[in-house]
Amino acid sequence: MKKPAAAGDALSLELKRSHRRARIKSQSPYWVMLIIPMLFFFLVRYWPMFGLSIAFQNYRIGDAFVSSHSRWAGLKWFQMLLKNPNFFRLVRNTLVLNILSILIAFPLAIGFALLLNEIRIRRFRNLTANISLLPYFISTVVIVAIIYNVFSVDDGLVNMILVKLGRAKINFLATSSWFRPLYIGSDIWQHTGFNAVVFTAAIAGIDPNLYEAAALDGSTRLKNIFYITIPCILPTIIIMLLLRIGSIMTVGYEKIILMYTPMTYEVSDVLSTYAYRAGLKDQKFSLSTAISLINSVVNVALLVGANRLTKKISDTSLW
């Protein structure tokens, strides 16, 4: 009895191997094409990680990242960062800007995609989508220049309107309480159209039969949004949300550096701007690297935690 079973197993194993070989052969062009992104990630993302070692050194320009001459400093730069009286303010500002962005800008992109989907005239829908996409391609410097022109206290459009209405001028650009609204508001204006693209694509992938069946059952368009569209794009929303959480400690410093003044440091100075000032302007590369390393570690921890949570709740996760 055992012999036929063993022969069957061998046959089955051979079949599996042959099937795997055939599958690999048929997919070979894709495997080869994968070399490019892998090379990219290795050279641009992983290889530079050796540079992280300078967070533990007294690094100077021109030093090798690791050599027998490296001047190791242990956790000196991490301790220095933690001792900085402004450290918690930097972390708070970074988190607040990102959380506000997630709470306001992220849902707006979803809402915009849903609204676009409801436009019945195709040409108008395409035109609206294209117009909303355009600000994304304007450089940050130009965006900030527009902000300065519109909100300038001296001859800005908004202040001119305020004066016409008999109200006092507001120094938007040098007032702490106005920094976040300006930053988030301009971010929404610039990125909502682009961020909605992913959700628009997800909506386009929903089976039209679902809407037809719902129409037969007398469903309204509003009900379609809540009971068909949103549930169908929920996995995409979750994935995008996870990716945002994975970069919650990271704020692009370019726009802030262009926008902030000492008057607004209280709410605008974030970890990345501090890393820029300390690391690049004052040449404390080790401190700057230590900040980036802390950022990355916290980001990874948050990403893993959020991923586990969503997996438990919704069965959708990054891995």
**Where does this chain bind other proteins (CB under 8 A)?**
28-29, 32-33, 35-36, 39-40, 43, 60-63, 80, 84-86, 148, 152-155, 169, 171, 173-176, 261-263, 265-266, 269, 277-278, 280-285
CA–CA separation, 234 and 103 (whole Å): 16
CA–CA separation, 246 and 303 (whole Å): 5
Tell me the residue length of the chain: 319
Query: Which residue's CB is nearer to other proteins, number 40 or number 46?
Result: 40
123 is written with which tokens?
């040409």
Question: Minimal distance in Å, beta carbon 74 to other proteins?
Answer: 15
CA–CA separation, 211 and 160 (whole Å): 49
Query: Which residue's CB is nearer to other proteins, number 4 or number 74?
Result: 74
CA–CA separation, 290 and 275 (whole Å): 9
Question: Minimal distance in Å, beta carbon 295 to other proteins?
Answer: 19
Query: Which residue's CB is nearer to other proteins, number 26 or number 209?
Result: 26
Reference 77, options 52, 95, 97, 99; nearest CA is: 52
Question: Minimal distance in Å, beta carbon 84 to other proteins?
Answer: 7
Query: Which residue's CB is nearer to other proteins, number 106 or number 265?
Result: 265
Question: Minimal distance in Å, beta carbon 276 to other proteins?
Answer: 8
Question: Minimal distance in Å, beta carbon 36 to other proteins?
Answer: 5
Query: Which residue's CB is nearer to other proteins, number 280 or number 313?
Result: 280
- Spatial CB neighbours of 224, under 8 Å, sequence gap ≥ 6: 211, 214
| Number of alpha carbons in the 13 Å side-chain half-sphere of residue 251 | 29
